Structure formats: C-alpha cells, structure tokens
Chain A
Amino acid sequence: GAVVSQHPSWVICKSGTSVKIECRSLDFQATTMFWYRQFPKQSLMLMATSNEGSKATYEQGVEKDKFLINHASLTLSTLTVTSAHPEDSSFYICSTLARETQYFGPGTRLLVL
C-alpha cells in the first residue's frame, strides 16, 4: 500500500480563524489526493479531488473559497478551512491514489469554538 500522514492530528481554534491541514504521501508520489469530511457516526463525504499542479475539483455543495486546497508537490496536499465556524467542526481525512487504490491518512479532528 501507500503510507499517508496528516498534520495536525487534532486542532482547536477560535471562530473566524483559518486552519491548515497537511496531507503527506510518505512513500508514493501522488498526482491525485482526495479530501473527505466525516461527521460523528456517519460515512465519509468527499469534498474535493486534489490534483498536483492544477486546481482542485470540488464536489457539489462544497464551497471552494471556504475550503482552499493546494497540491503543490507530488507528496503534499493542504486543506485550509478559512474563517472557520463551529459548523466546520468535523473529522477531516485525506487519501492518496496509489496504483488505482485510495490509501487513507489517520485524519484530523477540528473543533471550532
């Protein structure tokens, strides 16, 4: 498989601040990564597909100005939650596409106060 890390593993921030979450592919050069969010006891909801060197493709209903995605290298994609509000509190998980299979990071828990 592929090894994926996320940083930070959890973050608490005040409402109105921006939070950046990093997703790293440690042993595979990933042209494509995916960002998901997961509410408690629910399934994963795909937010966007991150493509190295080009703009991310967002799913319907996901605000691209709210959730900024940057995939500047083959090993790093970042998700920035801008002007975070309590309703943005969630578990954010990234995955990398390696050999046509998605491998997931450990997730980042965001709590907005």
Chain B
Amino acid sequence: GEDVEQSLFLSVREGDSSVINCTYTDSSSTYLYWYKQEPGAGLQLLTYIFSNMDMKQDQRLTVLLNKKDKHLSLRIADTQTGDSAIYFCAEREGSGTYKYIFGTGTRLKVLA
C-alpha cells in the first residue's frame, strides 16, 4: 500500500533555516500537504502543492516537489521558537476519495 515517510527529529538554532523531508509512494497523488501540530492540538494547514508544480513559496515557507523521486520538502526560513512542533506531510490519494495518507511526522525543536 501507499506509504509516506519522514525523519523523526530535527533540531535547529533560532534564525537558521529548517528543512523537513518527506517521501511518498503513490505516483497518482494530485496534491501534497504540510500540516503543523502543536502539543495537544489539532493539525494546522501550512501549505500545499499541486503535483504538477515543482515549487511553491509562501512567506517563510518554501515547498519543493521532486515528482520523479517522489520527494517533498518544506523549508522554513528564519526559524523561530514558535515553529517548534510536529510537522506532517500528507498525500491525497489519487482515487478521488479526498482521503489523505499522513507521514510519520517530524518533531522540530528550535533552540534559542
């Protein structure tokens, strides 16, 4: 079945850039998403990218998509302590059901 993989942890210093990586397996995915989850809370949509795009930038966030390698990344510029959270990538199944498959989540810790 489909699988979405992420590295478990990332630690960066405040002001540096963070890059969170994700690999997926469903080549028919139409949209890919990045969500942020703070402790004890739900998921906040950060950004998404359509599968025919290579890059999308939204303020401090840059999403890169390599469809050939099925690799997605999220770059956070000028990382702040408030960015500390778990980041999930998700792919929308290509079957038209709008179901998402979530990655394992990357815990980002920003050091002051």
Contact = CB atoms under 8 A, between A and B. Distances in A.
Binding between chains A and B:
yes
B102 A44 contact: yes
A104 B48 CA distance: 15
Nearest to A108: B42
B77 to A, nearest CB: 22
Given A42-B105, A46-B99, 7 more contacts: A4-B42, A32-B98, A43-B102, A49-B97, A97-B98, A100-B31, A102-B100
Nearest to A45: B102
B45 interface: yes
- Chain B, interface residues (CB within 8 Å), range: 10 to 19
A102 B100 CA distance: 9
Contacts of A102: 33, 45, 98, 100
A107 B40 contact: yes
A95 B99 CA distance: 11
Interface in B79-112: 88, 97-100, 102-105
Contacts of B44: 104
Contacts of B43: 44, 93, 95, 104
B42 A105 contact: yes
B13 to A, nearest CB: 24
Interface in A1-23: 1, 4, 6
A107 B98 CA distance: 20
